[in-house]
Amino acid sequence: MAEAIWPAVWRAWLRVRYGAGLDAETLEAAVRTCEALRAVWQPLLTDRPDNAELPFPNAMHADGEPDAPDGDPK
């Protein structure tokens, strides 16, 4: 679906960005596909976003030891 969605959005974007004017059909296709993506993704998301949802760089290569108590990196 993503390859179907993003090119539809891209067509709309490119028409606006390069001054071709956004016709109703292109706009409709872009909106429709964004709604389709949202319909697929939304059921997987929580209504109460949590800070633990995204990995941060320190979690990606933690060596198991916290920083020094004064906050200085080791």
Partner 1 sequence: MSAADWSWLPLHEMGRRLRAGELSPVALAEHCLERLERLGSRYNAVVTVTRERALAEARRAEAELRAGRDRGPLHGIPYGAKDLLATGGGIPTTWGFAPLREQRFDADAAVIERLEAAGAVLVAKLAMVELAGGMRYDQPNASFTGPGINPWNRAAWSGGSSSGSASAVAAGLVPFAIGTETHGSITGPTAMCGLTGLRPSFGRVSRRGAMALSWTLDKIGPLCHGADDCGLVLEAIAGPDPGDPATLPGAFRYAPEAQPDRRWKLCVLPGEDDSDQPAVPANFRAALEVLQTAAEIEERALPEHPYHEIVMTILFAEAGSAFGYLAETGEAAQLTAPETRTTPHALASIPAAAYVTALRLRQRLHRELTDWLAPYDAVVTPTLKKVAPPLDTTFSAYFGAHRRLVITGVGNLLGWPCVTVPTGFGERGLPTSLQFVGRPGSEATLLALARHYQQQTDWHTRHPPETQ
Which positions touch partner 1 (CB under 8 A)?
Answer: 1-3, 5-7, 9-10, 12-14, 17-18, 37, 40-41, 44-45, 49, 53-55, 57, 60-61, 63
What is the CB neighbour count within 10 angstroms for residue 15? 16
Please tell me whether residue 14 adopts helix, strand or coil conformation: helix
Closer by beta carbon to partner 1, 7 or else 27: 7
Torsions phi, psi for 39 (to 5 deg): -65, -30
Q: At its nearest, how many Å lie between partner 1 and the CB of residue 67?
A: 15
Alpha helices for 18-66 (secondary structure H): 24-41, 57-60
CB of 28 to partner 1, least distance (A): 16
